[in-house]
Structure 1
């Protein structure tokens, strides 16, 4: 991978994590009364990234969609098993993940889960992940050969190292 591509990947990882921080802050500032929905918080975080010239509008849109997908997937995981926290979704040592990222995902995923319970949303299938998209920490399984890929932090999803397929699902306990 070239130095330019490494730098671009690093910038996008940082943008993903910064957007996660902004979404968390937006949800926390609203408190229990006028709690914004995840989509509103993502729109605000996306707008700030463009306003501060951290990302182009297109990049902010793409990263906010990756973040939305990851948070909604984590919330579905919490909804399936109320006795679990996100350790099962991340499928990794929490010391590697770090408290900051775990706290952010937990806060947002729990609020999102509550929104879903209010709406009685039923999900028929797990979210799909595709090569080239970004994902948060955790494990993805290739839908073609079942090989798993482990992500310790946000990053771009490469083709499957075994079969070069481009579609994945999140692995949860």
Structure 2
């Protein structure tokens, strides 16, 4: 992250003048300011993985009946189990739950109102339902839409902030269109090109 940010700083002035060490130090301060401490990053990553695993487990248990309550219970049960461990602060649990809700909304958007584009690539958290059949998926799409309405979340492009713990994928900077590709779950860095901090999941 620091190397990319330092490179774009030099590029913006046409690689003329300036000092590469100064570029590096400025980039280092910028990245460090926006991202949690290494210890906090490690804790948030572990909590995020456990929460995703818990939500996925509850979704996998849903059989014939799926509705908005199914989604609500998935989050509530997984969040309760995470809190019970006593390993994470209330702030950490709140942050990663918010991000997971964004991921669920983003996945629903990719698949369309009736989930016509349901696939392993687009389904994300709903991948556990991939082999359930069109009738189940139709009900599931309606259930997710109802859950989002009840939760007060509109089915629209979700905005992610630098420093958020996110699942793997491609994110596009809202400021300049530069893309960040994360191969594994990680904290989203600021844009290396324009240094802005808001992204959309692609």
Q: Distance in 1 between matches of 2:86 and 2:108?
A: 30
> Structure 1 residues 112 and 160 mapped into 2: Cα distance closer, same or farther (>3 Å)?
farther
Counterpart residue number, 1:106 = 127
Question: Mind listing any 5+ residue stretches in structure 2 that lack a counterpart?
Answer: 1-27, 131-136
Q: CA deviation at 1:5?
A: 3.0
Counterpart residue number, 2:51 = 19
Contact 1:133–1:156 (8 Å) recurs in 2 = yes
Q: Distance in 2 between matches of 1:51 and 1:59?
A: 14
Q: Distance in 2 between matches of 1:67 and 1:120?
A: 13
Match of 1:162 among 182, 187, 193: 193
Give the secondary-structure state (helix, strand or coil) at the position aligned to 2:96. helix
Aligned pairs for 1:1-173 (under 5 A) are 5-33=37-65, 36-79=69-112, 82-87=116-121, 89=122, 104-107=125-128, 113-116=141-144, 125-171=156-202
Q: CA deviation at 1:41?
A: 1.3
Q: CA deviation at 1:12?
A: 1.5
Question: Mind listing any 5+ residue stretches in structure 1 that lack a counterpart?
Answer: 91-101
Q: Distance in 1 between matches of 2:43 and 2:148?
A: 37
Contact 2:109–2:156 (8 Å) recurs in 1 = no
Q: Distance in 1 between matches of 2:62 and 2:107?
A: 21
Q: CA-atom RMSD, angstroms? A: 3.2
Q: Distance in 2 between matches of 1:53 and 1:120?
A: 29
> Structure 1 residues 105 and 119 mapped into 2: Cα distance closer, same or farther (>3 Å)?
closer
